Structure 1
Amino acid sequence: MTGVLLLEADVSAGEDLLTAAAGLGLDAYAATHEDLFGHYRPELTAKITAPVFTDFSRPETALADLTAFCRKTGIRGIVPCWEFLTPLATRLAAALGLPGHLPARADACRNKRLMAEAFAAHGVPSPRTLTAPDHATLSRRIAAAGLRFPLVVKPAENAASIGVSVVRSADGIPDAARLARSQTHKLPHGIALDTTLLAQEHVDGAEFSVETLVTDGTVHHLTVTEKFTTEGTSRAELGHTVPAELPPAVRDSVYAAATAALTALGLRNGIAHTELKVDPDGHPQVIEVGARPPGDHIMKLVKEALGIDVARACLETVLGRRPDLTPRRRAAAAIRFLTAPEAGTLRWISALPRGEHIIATSLSKMPGDEVGGPQDNMGRLGQIMLRADTAAEANAAAVEALRGVTVDMATRW
């Protein structure tokens, strides 16, 4: 049988991809670290043909290990399931002569410093960005460039809104820089992170993402996702709704901006998740691109709302096939995350709601568990997934569902 290799399948998109592989009659292999495979959930391991072990903290070693494995096993498609493995996936596909992206731009698909440079070089509508090795240099460069506050300060490499803060004045730069540089390696694989500081213009407006398949360089936008985030100094994601309700002209401009970003980054064959903000005048600004399947169960939302099996389409694309991207229905779906109001120990959480629009609920934390605060996506307690005829109905149902959940925390002192 034809084989595909998933780079770190133990993420939210992993189970969807493994299920799709089984439906396509594919052998599905998972690359991870030997110590981590024992912690994979049974529902994942049951769908994996076999694991392959390597050390992702050593990219050159991992590339050599996986190239040899793929040649021996006859792998025909590579999928990076985890954000931090997208450059490796691109280089692995290139080494094997398989469908993938331009290897010369592989690092720019993960490193936000290089990504911002690529956007600027190719005229992608995006926030003006400055970089620096430390907070003092960053402050000087902000002043010299005449950037106005508020600004967004973030690390060159991380995900899930970790290390991101909105800074209202120059006095906030040192604390924001410390937060941005607080992680030097990414667990659980110990991958070294570029701790270069970024300061970006703050874009007022609503936040969205574009879900896309690229086949042989041709861009196929599937939908726009409406995103809900925290306010204030942080930008943790609280939920998503598919599809976003946008005026046709704004949707067209959002798609055009996403296409420009994907082209600048050299995406040729695979799935992409482009995050943007749309200002009050309807002009989009690209924040960043993930050259990997979207997280937070967005693929499930697209399937519920539009009937498009994104996971299946992703696998077909990396195999060099033409996926069927025809919508099967016109509905809406949403997910909302139960988030701790503050860091501490979860004491109690009420029963999760049921109702006409609710299709799934789950808890990721239990009483007694330590929970992070709402400043990034690590403060999540669980989730509620909903479906309705329209996005407005799904959003209203989500508000009502969240009203019925009570969280009791023991605060850290």
Structure 2
Amino acid sequence: MSRLLLLEAMGNTGPYLLRAAEELGLRVTVVTHEDVYAKCYAPALKELIGDDVLFTDFADTETSRRQLVAYARDNDVSGIVCGWEFLSPLVADLAAELGLPGNDPRRALGCRNKRVMAELFAEHAVPSPRTLLARTYESAVAQIAERGQEYPLVVKPAEQSASWGVSVVREPQELAAAFALAQSWPVETPHHIPLDTTVIIQEYVGGVEFSVEAVVCGGLITMLPVTEKFTTQDAYRVEIGHTVPAVLSAESLTQIRRTSERALEALGVLNGVAHIELKITPDGSAKIIEVGARLPGDHVVRLMHVAHGLDEARAYVEAVTGRQPEITPTYERAAAIRFFTSYRAGTFQGLRGLGTSPHVMSVDTDAPGTRVGGVRDKGNDARVGHVILSGADTAEVNAAAAVVMAHVRVEVG
């Protein structure tokens, strides 16, 4: 039986990939660190994985790469998938060395590092925010003045995930704190992979934010339905919900598709999937915010299946194992997720005021007593759970979500 390597399964896309591989008749070896497996893997995930676990130290990239190449050659590995965003460049390197379908390893860092991404976007004229790169606060101030960059600005780390460390800076006096926040993570957690501490400073792009998924096989790009995004609107932007599909004009859909394709070509995405975040600006054009060579988080994989019968995790596995992905929608409905979010750090005590609706498919919350971050502290670490809903169309599911969330109160002590 052919084998699939899954580099890190602890993210919320891990179970989707494990189940997809099983359906395709593939054995899966999950690659992680021994300490991460012991401390971060829930019992249910360990049960789903079974005994096929390979321990490595991702912080030692070269040693890990050699170990995984040797393992793959000895164990009939036919594909490699990324379940942890920080590992996508390593996945591309391994696939190239083993002669397996993957992305261009020379440009793969651009799907992980926003500094490299900005450089590739500039080189290939991909519509995206004007970007400054700074390693010190003094350099940032000097560049902003030299280029006459106007506020507001978006300040974020070169290498982080979700919305960690992202600030919208509206006045010069806010820049120092935002810059310091963006440099708060010199290493990734929990693998302790060293991170680029360059700070990204971008023009604030007005308009409406969306995300879109792509399945890529042999360089052929297929765009999936667009996702509507909901975020907080204060200085610290945190995603608080998603709805599939977004309702957009034909012109906007065309703009999203064409601009996304240019971004993927610039980043060398050739086989697998990509998660693309972008905005439709007030003039109707599309600008790429960032791209990841991975499945979407936040259970968007499930939303896509509920809304359209699409299994993006399966398509990902198919694309990297030399199979033709099945990516035809089988029906047209809608699905949404909304997150229960704390605005201050503390100890989660419970959830109050959650409404009811026949559209609710599932509700999940942390256990009382769990430590939680605040929106300002750690972005998506402020979440304490979520609700998933389904509906006949986008308007119906968004209305149902509004009713369910209208009086929710996250109690933190």
Shorter-chain TM-score bucket reads: over 0.9
1:138 aligns with 140
| 1:283-362 map, 5 Å | 283-350=285-352, 352-362=354-364
- Matched positions, count: 409
Residue 390, structure 1, aligned to residue 379, structure 2: no
Give the Å deviation of 1:404.
4.4
Q: For 1:117-158, what per-residue CA distance to the aligned partner results, in whole angstroms no more than 9, with x for missing partners?
A: 100110111000000111110110011111110000111110
What RMSD, in angstroms, separates the aligned Cα atoms of the two structures? 1.2
39-48 or 170-179, which moves further after superposition? Answer: 39-48
> Given residue 26 of structure 2, which amino acid in structure 1 is its aligned partner?
L
Residue 271, structure 1, aligned to residue 273, structure 2: yes
Give the Å deviation of 1:405.
2.7
1:90 aligns with 92
Quick one: distance in 2 between partners of 1:178 and 1:377? 18
- Whether contact under 8 Å (2:355, 2:403) holds in the other structure is no
**Secondary structure of the residue that 1:38 maps to in structure 2?**
helix
TM-score (norm 1): 0.97
Give the Å deviation of 1:284.
1.1
Residue 45, structure 1, aligned to residue 46, structure 2: yes
2:153 equivalent among 141, 151, 173: 151
- Whether contact under 8 Å (2:363, 2:386) holds in the other structure is yes
**Secondary structure of the residue that 1:263 maps to in structure 2?**
helix
Quick one: distance in 1 between partners of 2:260 and 2:151? 26
- Whether contact under 8 Å (2:158, 2:199) holds in the other structure is yes
Quick one: distance in 2 between partners of 1:140 and 1:231? 28
2:284 equivalent among 278, 282, 285: 282
2:107 aligns with 105
**Secondary structure of the residue that 1:47 maps to in structure 2?**
helix
5-14 or 366-375, which moves further after superposition? Answer: 366-375
Structure 2 residues not aligned, in runs of 5+:
none
TM-score (norm 2): 0.97
2:212 aligns with 210
| 1:105-184 map, 5 Å | 105-184=107-186
Give the Å deviation of 1:309.
1.1
Structure 1 residues not aligned, in runs of 5+:
none
Change (3 A) 1:351 1:45: farther
Give the Å deviation of 1:354.
4.0
- Whether contact under 8 Å (2:169, 2:178) holds in the other structure is yes
Give the Å deviation of 1:314.
0.8
1:17 aligns with 17
Percent same amino acid at aligned positions?
A: 48
- Whether contact under 8 Å (1:212, 1:223) holds in the other structure is no
Give the Å deviation of 1:353.
4.5
**Secondary structure of the residue that 1:160 maps to in structure 2?**
coil
- Whether contact under 8 Å (1:18, 1:44) holds in the other structure is no
> Given residue 260 of structure 1, which amino acid in structure 2 is its aligned partner?
R
- Whether contact under 8 Å (1:126, 1:286) holds in the other structure is yes
Give the Å deviation of 1:208.
0.6
Give the Å deviation of 1:271.
0.5
Quick one: distance in 2 between partners of 1:394 and 1:346? 28
> Given residue 33 of structure 1, which amino acid in structure 2 is its aligned partner?
H
2:404 aligns with 401
Quick one: distance in 2 between partners of 1:378 and 1:163? 11
